[in-house]
Amino acid sequence: KAGVTQTPRYLIKTRGQQVTLSCSPISGHRSVSWYQQTPGQGLQFLFEYFSETQRNKGNFPGRFSGRQFSNSRSEMNVSTLELGDSALYLCASSQGLGTDTQYFGPGTRLTVL
């Protein structure tokens, strides 16, 4: 089975722009979670989707949003980019919720100039 794929792998944007990141989960997985990884804050939970519904949301401003499609693929969007949004954004998929193991993708490296 193919693993979790994320596109693009690298992005460079300027302040004020918006960006959309994409995540394709492992085939058969219905849950997708997103995490932000920065040197200062470490790994922080952004949101979790299951069957196209947001099940959980982390403590991030409304500029961060996401969605999940019927094929379980997920996108996250960040509007009005700030320098502090520069980070590695990781997507993880699992079969269901709760104790199902989460498998992580390679991440999208976002740089905001």
Partner 1 sequence: AQSVTQPDIHITVSEGASLELRCNYSYGATPYLFWYVQSPGQGLQLLLKYFSGDTLVQGIKGFEAEFKRSQSSFNLRKPSVHWSDAAEYFCAVGHLSSNTGKLIFGQGTTLQVKP
Q: Which residues bind partner 1 (CB under 8 A)?
A: 4, 31, 33, 35, 42-45, 48, 55-56, 58, 90, 92, 94, 97-107
- Burial group, residue 71, by CB count within 10 angstroms (0-12, 13-18, 19+): exposed
Of 59 and 70, nearer to partner 1 (C-beta) is 59
* Minimum distance from residue 48 beta carbon to partner 1 (Å): 6
Of 107 and 112, nearer to partner 1 (C-beta) is 107
> Contacts from 48-53 at CB under 8 Å and sequence distance 24+?
48/97, 49/74, 50/96, 50/97
* Minimum distance from residue 76 beta carbon to partner 1 (Å): 15
The C-alpha atoms of residue 54 and residue 16 are separated, in whole angstroms, by 26
* Minimum distance from residue 100 beta carbon to partner 1 (Å): 7
